[in-house]
């Protein structure tokens, strides 16, 4: 909408996976105010503190404004030519797997699409992964095992309709604040709605909990295998649903019983009072509408996939899925982790939610793209990718919109890997990050207020992110940069896109190509959008094979799943304890996570001074018992260390932290303080299926300085 000197643009928030709609008020190429979009289904007018400070983060300070090679400003033509020739020469000498792209859940679906197409169809390598690997890849793998595809069954409304809402591994109040606001409102309207928080820490989310289960760190899998055993022993199964719509029940139950055959055994393994755990089990078995919302506390584990399937098993065994207020619900961390999944932005995915397991899918994508060098096998996942950079197998890497030197496990090794690498290209909107410091080539990318395309949130709603400011300095859109490099490498045919709308419609067409209802992810109703229709696109929930609006909120309502048999698979899971255990030398477990008002490594939220009012410096939370044992007082400077590294931060002594474990935030990087890079302590241990690192369980020691 326009008035004489201001205009209002509908766009989406660039931070978390809730995907809130934002009204941006723009005047004279400046963002002067933001408000929540009342018409957007995710937030219905709400915003959290981070979202409402967006207009304080769009200034030019700290922006990367010119392309640079080895610190010298160059023209775009020189920069593109340098990257293209560098990649081409490396491929000629060492093969396609000697190069890699590392992407971000911050970039848009259109950016992801062309990056994936370039690597998998034209360069001929699947070494294209993303920081979303750190966020939800365990849930992706669990969905694929259970449902036959990476499908989120429910929607946000289910959280409000549930009679029992279980929040596990999620500090929803801080990590997904607008979802939390919706839950608080639902609880106020229906006080009989029960809320259970499963988390070793007493987080802010516990403030609305009827029951808090402070389980032993890493024991979540046992809690849910124990629940399945309990449901079977207490006549709480839905035998009709199991018989008609699932397979694998007997082996899943046998595996659960072998691990956790009684409530007492589950309680012992989880370190919980038997009566409290029994109460949750009883509520689950007696309640029809149950949603289990899970997030990083489940996913960031060396057995994250099994934990996800342990949760899904309980919902399948009781038929609590595909109905209003009943679903296992994975909520993603980043704004476009879901969009990246849709176009195949993970090294083990192909495109349109297909993967490498079926040669027919590879041939389908190859034909659709008319790909000259189609890859036929998975590439390296994030942690393995940087290990391959470190040991010289990958010689050229292009990192887009993310800061792995601060955010990947064993972060010092990642920095060393980039320092050794022959060619490091970084596209970013921010000039100085821990990762740009390691780059040979810097490419200035447009930022949130300038970028134009689509994102998908955690409830499968695709929304337009609209650019409303002119590109800062000499910056360009990520999709433009990728297409320019592709053409300079000689791949003119597949990369002649002139707008994000052209990319989106190709993506939509691919989703429906030779589909015939075989694949759930189908947005082919959007394949013929004109530029005007794309610009005006309203939020649309997929699948959208036939119509472009808010399509069915719930999947699997008919009990039909995306497996060859049409039945959901119950998986015989054997979740294990974390790989690295505490020792005499490293007796405490370090847990990591977000704080309320910061995002990732603070490159953008760090620009809004009021977002530092909540918490303005890195810290470690420690229980009063552990503090006393180590002679640490509140606010003391302490060193947290292990064999990989050390951090120096202030101690926050609090009884919200259980004895035996510590908590540190993920946000501080060397740009702010070189002594609080928490990922320099995290071991690169991953789930064997998902490749997601175990960032919630890291043995350390602490001492007062
Ligand atoms: Fe942005 Fe997430 Fe806050 Fe919504 S809840 S305003 S998407 S940070």
* In contact, 229 and 261? CB cutoff 8 Å: yes
Considering only CA atoms, which of 152, 565, 561, 557 is closest in space to residue 320? 557
Q: What radius of gyration do the chain's Cα atoms show? A: 24
At 322 the three-state DSSP class reads coil
Q: DSSP letter for 679, please.
A: G
At residue 563, φ and ψ (nearest 5 deg) are -85, 165
Whether residue 47 has its Cβ less than 6 Å from ligand 1: yes
**DSSP states along 392-416:** TS--EEEEES--HHHHSSSHHHHHH
358 CA distance to ligand 1 centroid (A)?
37
User: What is the position in ligand 1's atom list of the atom closest to the CA of 43?
Assistant: 4
* Extents of the domains making up the chain: 7-56, 79-132+340-352+359-541, 136-332, 588-704
Contact residues for 516 (Cβ-Cβ < 8 A; gap 6+): none
Considering the domain 79-132+340-352+359-541 in this protein, what is its CATH number? 3.40.50.740
Whether residue 222 has its Cβ less than 6 Å from ligand 1: no
Q: How far is CA 454 from CA 24, 239, 336, 442, 608, in A?
A: 16, 42, 9, 25, 25
pLDDT score for 161: 98
At residue 285, φ and ψ (nearest 5 deg) are -70, -30
Dihedral angle, C-alpha 254, 259, 264, 266, nearest 10 °: -110
CATH architecture of 7-56: 2-Layer Sandwich (3.30)
Distance CA 69, CA 48 (A): 39
pLDDT score for 671: 82
> What does DSSP say about strands 540-541 and 99-103: parallel, antiparallel, or unpaired?
unpaired
pLDDT score for 672: 80
Distance CA 511, CA 106 (A): 22
37 CA distance to ligand 1 centroid (A)?
12
Q: Which helix (H) or strand (E) holds 362?
A: helix 359-369
Atom 3 of ligand 1, nearest CA residue: 48
Evaluate the omega torsion of the peptide bond into residue 75 and state whether it is cis, within 30 degrees of 0: no
Distance CA 35, CA 22 (A): 6
At residue 398, φ and ψ (nearest 5 deg) are -120, 115
User: What is the position in ligand 1's atom list of the atom closest to the CA of 457?
Assistant: 7
Atom 2 of ligand 1, nearest CA residue: 16
Q: Which residues of 378-412 are buried (b: 16+ CB within 10 A; e: fewer)?
A: bbbbbbbbbbbbbeebbbbbbbbbbbbbbbbbbbe
pLDDT score for 457: 96
Distance CA 670, CA 256 (A): 44
20 CA distance to ligand 1 centroid (A)?
6
3-state secondary structure 148-178: CCCCCCCCHHHHHHCCEEEEECCCHHHHCHH
* In contact, 311 and 292? CB cutoff 8 Å: yes
The model's pTM is 0.97
Whether residue 21 has its Cβ less than 6 Å from ligand 1: no
Whether residue 178 has its Cβ less than 6 Å from ligand 1: yes
User: What is the position in ligand 1's atom list of the atom closest to the CA of 51?
Assistant: 6
Considering the domain 136-332 in this protein, what is its CATH number? 3.40.228.10
503 CA distance to ligand 1 centroid (A)?
26
Dihedral class, residue 134 (left if φ above 0, else alpha if ψ from -120 to 50, else beta): alpha
Q: Give the rounded distance of the alpha carbon of 679 from its chain centre.
A: 17
Weakly modelled stretches of the chain, pLDDT under 70 = 1-4
> What does DSSP say about strands 461-465 and 128-130: parallel, antiparallel, or unpaired?
unpaired
At 466 the three-state DSSP class reads coil
Distance CA 600, CA 201 (A): 21
Distance CA 500, CA 152 (A): 26
* In contact, 214 and 276? CB cutoff 8 Å: no
| pLDDT tens string 300-337 | 999 999 999 999 999 999 999 999 999 999 998 888 88
* In contact, 396 and 101? CB cutoff 8 Å: no
User: What is the position in ligand 1's atom list of the atom closest to the CA of 22?
Assistant: 6
User: What is the position in ligand 1's atom list of the atom closest to the CA of 176?
Assistant: 5
Whether residue 333 has its Cβ less than 6 Å from ligand 1: no
pLDDT score for 670: 83
pLDDT score for 339: 87
pLDDT score for 4: 61
At 279, list the tokens: 């109460």
| pLDDT tens string 608-643 | 999 999 999 999 999 999 999 999 999 999 999 999
Distance CA 306, CA 341 (A): 20
Distance CA 38, CA 497 (A): 33
Distance CA 693, CA 135 (A): 9
Name the E strands within 410-452.
423-428, 441-444
User: What is the position in ligand 1's atom list of the atom closest to the CA of 19?
Assistant: 7
At 551, list the tokens: 């399509």
Pocket test for ligand 1, best of 135, 178, 336 (most atoms within 8 A of CB): 178
| pLDDT tens string 73-89 | 999 999 999 999 999 99
At 297 the three-state DSSP class reads helix
CATH 2.40.40.20 fits 588-704, yes or no: yes
| pLDDT tens string 189-208 | 999 999 999 999 999 999 99
Distance CA 542, CA 523 (A): 6
At 116 the three-state DSSP class reads helix
Considering only CA atoms, which of 427, 237, 201, 222 is closest in space to residue 314? 237
At 518, list the tokens: 């075989």
Whether residue 218 has its Cβ less than 6 Å from ligand 1: no
* In contact, 301 and 138? CB cutoff 8 Å: yes
């Amino acid at each position: 909408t326009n008035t004489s000197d201001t205009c209002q643009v509908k766009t989406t928030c660039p931070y978390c996976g809730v995907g809130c709609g934002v009204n941006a008020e723009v005047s004279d190429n400046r963002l002067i105010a933001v408000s929540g979009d009342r018409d957007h289904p995710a937030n219905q007018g709400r915003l959290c503190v981070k979202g409402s400070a967006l207009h304080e983060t769009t200034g030019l300070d700290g922006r990367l404004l010119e392309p640079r090679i080895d610190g010298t400003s160059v023209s775009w033509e020189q920069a593109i030519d340098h990257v293209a020739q560098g990649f081409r020469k490396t491929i000629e000498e060492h093969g396609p797997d000697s190069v890699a792209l590392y992407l971000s859940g911050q970039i848009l679906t259109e950016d992801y699409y062309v990056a994936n197409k370039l690597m998998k169809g034209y360069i001929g390598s699947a070494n294209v992964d993303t920081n979303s690997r750190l966020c939800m890849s365990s849930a992706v793998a669990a969905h694929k095992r259970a449902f036959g595809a990476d499908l989120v069954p429910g929607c946000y409304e289910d959280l409000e309709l549930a009679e029992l809402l279980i929040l596990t591994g999620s500090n929803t109040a801080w990590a997904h604040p607008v979802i939390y606001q919706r839950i608080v409102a639902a609880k106020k309207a229906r006080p009989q709605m029960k809320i259970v928080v499963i988390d070793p820490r007493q987080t802010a989310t516990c403030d609305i909990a009827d029951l808090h289960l402070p389980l032993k760190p890493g024991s979540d899998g046992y809690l849910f295998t124990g629940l399945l055993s309990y449901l079977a022993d207490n006549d709480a199964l839905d035998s009709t649903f199991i018989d008609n719509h699932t397979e694998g029940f007997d082996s899943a139950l046998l595996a659960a019983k072998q691990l956790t055959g009684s409530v007492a055994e589950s309680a012992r393994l989880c370190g919980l009072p038997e009566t409290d755990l029994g109460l949750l089990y009883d509520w689950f078995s007696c309640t029809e509408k149950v949603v289990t919302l899970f997030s990083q506390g489940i996913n960031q584990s060396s057995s994250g996939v099994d934990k996800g399937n342990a949760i899904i098993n309980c919902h399948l065994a009781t038929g609590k899925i595909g109905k209003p207020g009943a679903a296992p619900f994975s909520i993603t961390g980043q704004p476009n982790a879901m969009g990246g999944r849709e176009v195949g932005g993970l090294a083990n995915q192909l495109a349109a939610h297909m993967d490498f397991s079926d040669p027919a899918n590879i041939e389908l994508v190859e034909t659709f793209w008319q790909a000259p060098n189609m890859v036929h096998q998975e590439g390296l996942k994030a942690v393995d990718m940087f290990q391959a950079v470190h040991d010289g197998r990958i010689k050229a890497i292009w990192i887009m919109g993310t800061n792995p030197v601060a955010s990947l496990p064993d972060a010092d090794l990642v920095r060393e890997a980039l320092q050794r690498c022959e060619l490091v290209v970084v596209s970013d909107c921010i000039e100085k990050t821990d990762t740009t410091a390691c780059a040979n080539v810097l490419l200035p990318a447009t930022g949130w207020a300038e970028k134009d395309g689509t994102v998908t949130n955690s409830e499968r709603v695709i929304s337009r992110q609209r650019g409303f400011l002119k590109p800062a300095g000499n910056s360009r859109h990520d999709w433009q940069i990728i297409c320019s490099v592709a053409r300079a490498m000689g791949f003119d045919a597949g990369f002649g896109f002139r707008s994000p709308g052209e990319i989106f419609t190709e993506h939509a067409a691919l989703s429906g190509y030779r589909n015939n209802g075989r694949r759930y992810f189908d947005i082919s109703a959007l394949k013929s959008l004109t530029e005007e229709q794309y610009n005006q696109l309203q939020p649309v929930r997929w699948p959208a094979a036939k119509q472009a609006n808010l399509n069915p909120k719930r999947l699997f309502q008919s009990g039909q799943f995306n497996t060859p048999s049409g039945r959901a698979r119950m998986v015989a899971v054997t979740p294990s304890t974390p790989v690295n255990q505490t020792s005499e030398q490293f007796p405490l477990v370090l847990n990591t996570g977000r704080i309320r008002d910061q995002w990732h490594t603070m490159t953008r939220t760090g620009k809004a001074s009021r977002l530092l009012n909540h918490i303005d410096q890195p810290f470690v939370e420690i229980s009063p018992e552990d503090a006393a044992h180590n002679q640490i007082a509140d606010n003391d400077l302490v060193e947290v260390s292990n064999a990989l590294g050390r951090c120096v931060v202030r101690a926050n002594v609090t009884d919200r932290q259980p004895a035996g474990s510590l908590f540190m935030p993920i946000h501080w990087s060397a740009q702010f303080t070189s002594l609080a890079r928490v990922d320099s302590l995290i071991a690169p241990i991953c789930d064997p299926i998902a490749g997601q690192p175990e960032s919630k369980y890291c043995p350390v020691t602490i001492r007062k300085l």
